[in-house]
Structure 1
Amino acid sequence: MIEKNYTLPDLPYAYDALEPVISKEIMTLHHDKHHKGYVDKANELLQKLADARKSGGKVDIGSTAKKLSFNIDGHRLHTLFWTNLTPVSEKKEPSHELLSAIEAEFGDLEQFKPEFTEAATTIEGSGWATLAVDPETGRLIISQVGNHNLAHTLGPILLVSDMWEHAFYLDYKSDKKTYASKFWDIVNWQEVSVRFDAARKLK
């Protein structure tokens, strides 16, 4: 079996493409430092485990597994995050199928948005707000993900919002409510709709 490493994906747009909602400075630091850090650390930990297994060396499995899940989930969440954003000028609307599902669960899109925003701004500490499809019921569920703990995610993720301070502090300081509300100006509804279609096919 070929042992593959995690790789840092390129952004699907220029670093300044999300301005004025998210600055070029934040995007550069967020992608090139923070996301890259999760990728590099995950690969480092995997190599550490591989070396120990080959040599018979001792590794603190509990600590290593915890760090590995943190960094892998951080990588996965950021990969979802970049692609569910789009420049303001290219903002798209949800597909008919996704919009119907949102209306069935939340009433309409304008009722869904503040509910998701409140979930994002009330996370204790660092974390993410997510919209996912529950695999048992098929319903759309808004969740809070503490840190990068995807173990608490119910099913296929459609939309994520990064509420770690490094995602907004340089632009908004401690005003995460404004950041969370402006998030809607750059949501790539086309990508979210594609994820929804894929999730429906899993049923």
Structure 2
Amino acid sequence: MTINRRHFLFLLATGTGTLALQACASAEQSPSGSQTSPEPKPDTTGAIQLPPLPYAYDALEPHIDAKTMQFHHDKHHAAYVKNLNAALEKYPKLKGKTVEDLLRQLDRVPEDIRKTVRNNGGGHVNHSMFWQIMKPQGGGEPTGAIASAIKENFGSFADFKKQFNAAGAAQFGSGWVWLVRNKAGKLEVTTTANQDTPLSQGLYPILGNDVWEHAYYLNYQNRRADYLEAWWNVLNWDEINQRFAAASKSA
């Protein structure tokens, strides 16, 4: 079959237009819940990196919805990392310290960036822990050494859970509720405001739940108590046991 020049150009233009339309359609599609968070770019500047989620956005549903996870990680946590890196640019020597060390010794952080490090460094450390202590098909009764420690310090898991949820519900405004190892080596439930971390108080955070509204409002609205109760269904007790072991070694 012979195709004249005019017919060939028409077919070429039609094919190109179809490919362009398909590309536009793909670009306009909103991210699906099953997508994972973007992999961080290789660090060539010594800057603090946003860790990727260790599971898909929708992996914790129905307890924590995909859209909340996406905004929480990709927007909120990313903003803490960006702001912290910007503050540390003024004092390159501080880049040799871990964020945890900066938070443990806030009085040694230059005063002009101390508040920024406290808020954004705390946000980074708190959330880096938060993603790790959750997993798909998690929850259930605690196992291992943390189970024995909870029983010893609180009487039973049920009593601990009740105390933890009550503290989280009572936290006024934004903040966190924590299980920490205190300076006496005992476990206790405590809360912090905003993005403050127990590290700044000489405490070791073993597990913590984010009670900022952005952590639950899309799914639970003002029902913080429902969110606190549902959260136990996604806990990663293996990771929590590792944090408990690290807390004991750091004493």
The aligned counterpart of 1:149 is: 196
Deviation at 1:100, TM superposition (A): 1.2
The aligned counterpart of 2:115 is: 66
Aligned ranges 1:6-85 → 2 under 5 Å: 6-50=48-92, 62-85=111-134
- 1: CA distance between counterparts of 2:193 and 2:138? 30
Percent of aligned pairs with the same amino acid: 37
Question: 2:167 is aligned with what amino acid?
Answer: A
Highest Rg: 1 or 2? 2
- 2: CA distance between counterparts of 1:200 and 1:65? 29
Aligned ranges 1:190-201 → 2 under 5 Å: 190-201=238-249
Q: 2:184 aligns with which of 123, 137, 141?
A: 137
Paired residue secondary structure (1:33): helix
Paired residue secondary structure (1:159): strand
Note if contact 2:54-2:131 (Cα within 8 Å) is conserved in structure 1.
yes
1:76-95 alpha-carbon deviations (Å, 9 max, x no partner)? 000010001111x2446433
- 2: CA distance between counterparts of 1:193 and 1:199? 10
1:149-195 alpha-carbon deviations (Å, 9 max, x no partner)? 12654422110100000000111111111001111011111111111
RMSD of aligned Cα (Å): 1.9
1:127 maps to 2:175: yes
- 2: CA distance between counterparts of 1:189 and 1:70? 28
Deviation at 1:45, TM superposition (A): 1.1
- 1: CA distance between counterparts of 2:220 and 2:208? 19
Q: TM-score, normalised by structure 1?
A: 0.88
Note if contact 2:176-2:195 (Cα within 8 Å) is conserved in structure 1.
yes
Note if contact 1:133-1:154 (Cα within 8 Å) is conserved in structure 2.
no
Note if contact 2:135-2:234 (Cα within 8 Å) is conserved in structure 1.
yes
Note if contact 2:130-2:209 (Cα within 8 Å) is conserved in structure 1.
yes
1:110-164 alpha-carbon deviations (Å, 9 max, x no partner)? 1100100111111111000011111x31100111011111265442211010000
Note if contact 2:140-2:232 (Cα within 8 Å) is conserved in structure 1.
no
The aligned counterpart of 1:177 is: 225
Tell me which of the two structures has the higher relative contact order, counting C-alpha pairs closer than 8 angstroms and 6 or more residues apart. Answer: 1
Note if contact 1:106-1:112 (Cα within 8 Å) is conserved in structure 2.
yes
